[in-house]
Chain A
Amino acid sequence: MIKLVGVEKKLGGQPVLQGVDLSIPVGKLTTIIGRSGEGKSVLLKHMIGLMQPDRGEVWVGDVEISRLSGTRLNDVRKRFAMLFQGAALFDSLSVFENVAFPLREKLRMKGSAVTKRVEEKLGEVGLAGMGHKFPAELSGGMRKRAGLARALVMEPEIILFDEPTTGLDPLMAKSIHDLIVTMQRRFGFTAVMVSHEIPEIFGISDWVAILRKGKIALMAPAAEFQRTTDPEIHEFISVGGTVALPGSLVG
């Protein structure tokens, strides 16, 4: 569904992506790992057209989006949702209004239909009865949950997660991971996650890719990825601690 071909990007004159080739499996949870500053978030932003590559192509389905803009790009974006690192909730709106925002603004939905759908999503992420609160009144974990509810409310085909557990304690991080996996399994959307949470991500991801020196150095099913013989990758994934067995966090 999402395919990147030879994507190159320089930021401030510095090469960040240097020929990324990546194909994201449909209906699976793919996690992209890599050292800080490798350009994982930059890569994610290319997938949804928030950044344009200097060279290369970004395909979403059968549409090449790297040169699209305006309405045509927006048409492609309707298939996406994104959970940002800081959740990117609108501070001037309550949690309820944040989740209702895409329904009201994009689908022009009104009244009880909005209320029903928003409350359903808030319930699914464990924020039932919290709709009246403002983002400033929420903890980091609750903000991420609200962001996830906003991402889910439009029932998108693809959801991008930009470091969804950054800044959270290990228990909260685990609960957010569990929530992401539960939602992904229930709704079957294609999920792409950028994360530093090693080894936890091996327990929740279907596929894992590592970005190194501006390229995808390895992409493999999670279990297979852990058996890599590449010494650098092995060292990187071993530093996080004991490698979890697949499925250890869910089920």
Chain B
Amino acid sequence: MTNVIEQLGVRAILRIQEMGRMLLFVLSACAWLVRPPFRFHQIMKQLHFIGYKSVFVVVLTAGFTGMVLALQGYYSLRKFGSEGLLGSAVALSMIRELGPVLAALMVTARAGSAMTAEIGIMRITEQIDALDTMAINPMQYLIAPKLVAGVIGVPLLVAIFDVVGIYGGSLVGVDLLGVSEGAYWNSIESAVEWKDIYGGILKSISFGLIISWICCYKGFYTRQSAEGLGSATTEAVVLSSVLILVWDYFLTSVLL
């Protein structure tokens, strides 16, 4: 019995240590971000990787999400004779919830996992140590630009996701199911408020930070083996995805 309690205690301490290390990691990266030299080229490179290269998968996901929302929404609303509200149902779902969450999950799967693998390989092959020996801080050169790119890139992708999703909904609702085009777009205009958009932006900024933070951290502290790198990548994707969903709940409860 004492052993079990001891084991639980050890695990709890290790978890707390890990959380502390994660917090110090992101604080250190933020501190290095505001110190010269400023690495705009690195930020642009990461923005291209996280943002531009994720556009295709985000557009694809957004299009089909909007289409299926319109399909489901149409048959539910028709029971109450409120098909005209389809546009607002699709737009609000997209802007408030599905846009930020699904775009963030897609970025985690595409760019987050690659970030962990890239940094992990750099750790295993001593490329991070090489940066240190050249008196170049890896936090400043490697991690800080990825954090900035996440915070800028994810909101831009979410904006694309929202627009494509709403057009996807229009394609099914208006063009296939025959909802009036005017009713679809008017209901969006009257239902969507600025606070919905602000809320979506706030969520996407925090999701961008979560993805870059967790994925960089897991890569940076990966164990020195192929197996270690594999588990680091899996842990990064799982932890980022779970944190996105948990944080989404808390943020939504505050924003509503």
Chain A residues near B (Cβ < 8 Å) = 45, 48-50, 70, 74-75, 77-78, 80-82, 84-86, 88-91, 101-102, 105-106, 108, 154, 160
Do B135 and A81 have beta carbons less than 8 Å apart?
no
* Inter-chain contacts of A101 with B (CB < 8 A): 134
* Inter-chain contacts of B129 with A (CB < 8 A): 45, 50, 82, 84, 88
Q: Which of A74, A84, A154, A160 contacts B137, CB < 8 Å? A: A74
Q: For chain B residues 121-145, which have a beta carbon within 8 Å of chain A?
A: 121-122, 125-127, 129-130, 132-137, 141
Per the bound structure, the CA–CA distance linking A208 and B125 in Å amounts to: 28
Q: Does B20 contact A (CB under 8 A)?
A: no
Do B127 and A105 have beta carbons less than 8 Å apart?
no
Q: Does B81 contact A (CB under 8 A)?
A: no
* Inter-chain contacts of B133 with A (CB < 8 A): 48, 50, 77, 80-82, 160
**Given A82-B130, A108-B37, does the pair A88, B136 have CB atoms closer than 8 Å?**
no
* Inter-chain contacts of B122 with A (CB < 8 A): 90
Q: Which residue of B lies closest to A74 (CB)?
A: B135
* Inter-chain contacts of A81 with B (CB < 8 A): 133-134
The residue among B37, B126, B141 with the most chain A CB atoms within 10 A of its own CB is: B126
Chain B residues near A (Cβ < 8 Å) = 37, 121-122, 125-127, 129-130, 132-137, 141
Per the bound structure, the CA–CA distance linking A85 and B135 in Å amounts to: 19
Per the bound structure, the CA–CA distance linking A250 and B254 in Å amounts to: 74
* Inter-chain contacts of A160 with B (CB < 8 A): 133
Q: Which of B126, B127, B135 contacts A77, CB < 8 Å? A: B135
* Inter-chain contacts of A91 with B (CB < 8 A): 121, 125, 127
The residue among B122, B125, B130 with the most chain A CB atoms within 10 A of its own CB is: B130
B200 to chain A, nearest CB (A): 34
Do B134 and A105 have beta carbons less than 8 Å apart?
yes
Per the bound structure, the CA–CA distance linking A90 and B118 in Å amounts to: 11
Q: Which of A88, A108, A154 contacts B125, CB < 8 Å? A: A88
B253 to chain A, nearest CB (A): 40
Per the bound structure, the CA–CA distance linking A2 and B37 in Å amounts to: 30
30 A-B pairs with CB atoms under 8 Å apart are: A48-B133, A49-B132, A50-B133, A70-B137, A74-B135, A74-B137, A75-B135, A77-B135, A80-B133, A81-B134, A82-B129, A82-B130, A82-B133, A84-B129, A85-B126, A86-B126, A88-B126, A88-B129, A89-B127, A90-B122, A90-B127, A90-B130, A91-B121, A101-B134, A102-B134, A105-B134, A105-B136, A105-B141, A106-B135, A160-B133
